[in-house]
Amino acid sequence: MSFATFTPEGEGGLSVLSMRLVLPARGAWWGALEIDATSSEAPAEGARAELAFAGRVLSGYVRRAREWHGRTRIFFEAGANGMRASISPLQLESALVRVVARQIVTSAGEVVAGTAESPTDVLGNYHRASREKAGVALSHVLATIGLTWRFTDAGEVWWGVDTWEEVEAPGTDEIEPFGEHAETEVHTPDSAPFEPGQSYGGRQIERVTYTLSEDAPLDALLSFVRDGGDGLRGALSRAVRAVVPELPYLGRYPARVVRQVDDGRVELVPDDGAMVAGSPPIPVLYGLPGASCEVPEGARVGMVHEAADARRPRAMGWEQGTPASVIQLRTLERITLGTGLAQVGGAGATVELSGGGAAVTRVGDIASYLVWDPTAMTLYVASSLTSPYVPIATNPNTPNPPPTGTPGTPIILGAGSEKVSSG
């Protein structure tokens, strides 16, 4: 029997064969699941569903579903849309933070958790001149008073202050610690008690990643806060972040591509769960005018924010070894290669110049075959031994041409460019 079950709304449960579920300190939780279902049995994209494992039930929606070798891979995300919905411009004077936050959440089609009412009775002015993603807007509003937000298991939006209460985790084993303020792996065979905002062994949990596979039981990877916790350094860090909410958007966040749309933009999931999980399709900064590429799902790239603005994410800096399906370079005039040797493709590769069309013949290739008929004083030519011979020099008394396949004299190219060669 499967340790986890995935149940689309109104349908029967499906066994989960493998799972990677990420619970971040801020934003939507998400999971990459592999379920025992064919394409006809798999839920449709956008369908509401529940994920049950180790006594927990998480409610969300199917963002993406792809069949793979008789199974289905699903990207499952919290709530109705993971706070990805774009919301209209907002201008409020002397409004309570909780009123603004509630309006953002409900405008996105999400539900506010019952525990998300306090401490947000603070007045402020809020101006947003353009449409933006609901998750980004909510982060901006709550950061002004030092609050965080995330989704609950029920798929509802909670906001507040993390209390860092010590979690009780009987029956679990810490099997691989990675340092006091880094990460630790915990074996959790019968329960899943860990949440961001808790403490474990005196360390504050910032992100929880549950993993499950056909060959291994349920484990949890706990990522801890790195700012020194409740000490002076931690207090100073929180104060700086409250005054400078742009601070988290100054860095580069490693991420993976989950989708590329037709215009070349990419949708990313950053490794760091502190960032809002997932992104709308965002532009790619190639660093070279006219350059673009197509990349497969799983390609590795960095996510940055122009001018430290959370509303302007960009993809930049492909990681070494990341493959590209197609690379394009468009110029108005020409491309100059200042190199001693320019190689294109490997053995068996196809190279097209100026859109392809006519084939290119190399030095040493047979260009055609000639047959001379001395009786009729006629010269015949064929492009190959499987092509018919045609006369190219004749007299009025030309008889029928030689049969196709007649071994004529091959014409071999003996000279060519010294700068261009092909395999």
DSSP structure string for 47-100: -EEEEEETTEEEEEEEEEEEEETTEEEEEEEETTTTT--EE--EEEEEEEHHHH
Please give the Cα distance from 226 to 147 (Å, whole number): 18
Handedness of CA 60, 61, 64, 65 (dihedral sign): positive
Q: How many CB atoms lie within 10 A of CB 130?
A: 8
pLDDT by 10s per residue, the chain, length 423: 458 999 999 989 999 999 999 999 999 999 999 999 887 888 999 999 999 999 999 999 999 999 888 899 999 999 999 999 988 877 777 778 888 889 999 999 999 998 776 665 666 666 565 678 899 888 888 887 788 999 999 999 999 889 899 998 877 777 766 655 577 888 777 788 999 999 998 889 999 999 998 888 889 999 888 754 555 555 566 555 555 666 778 888 888 898 899 899 998 888 776 666 556 789 999 988 889 999 998 899 999 988 888 778 899 999 888 888 888 888 888 877 776 777 776 666 777 766 666 677 777 777 777 777 777 777 877 877 788 877 776 665 556 677 776 776 666 665 555 555 665
Q: What is the CA radius of gyration of the chain?
A: 32
* Cα dihedral 283→289→295→299 (10° resolution): -70
Closest of 258, 212, 317, 242 to residue 84, by C-alpha: 258
Residues 6+ apart with CB under 8 A from 46: 61, 62, 63
Beta strands in 183-336 (DSSP E): 183-187, 199-200, 203-212, 219-224, 253-260, 266-270, 284-285, 291-294, 300-305, 313-318, 326-329
Q: What is the DSSP letter of 141?
A: H
Q: How many CB atoms lie within 10 A of CB 335?
A: 8
Specify the pTM.
Answer: 0.61
Say how many Å lie between the first and final Cα of the chain, rounded: 56
Residue 216: phi, psi to the nearest 5? Answer: -135, 145
Please give the Cα distance from 338 to 353 (Å, whole number): 19
> Which two structure tokens, joined as six digits, stand for 385?
């031994």
Please give the Cα distance from 285 to 132 (Å, whole number): 20
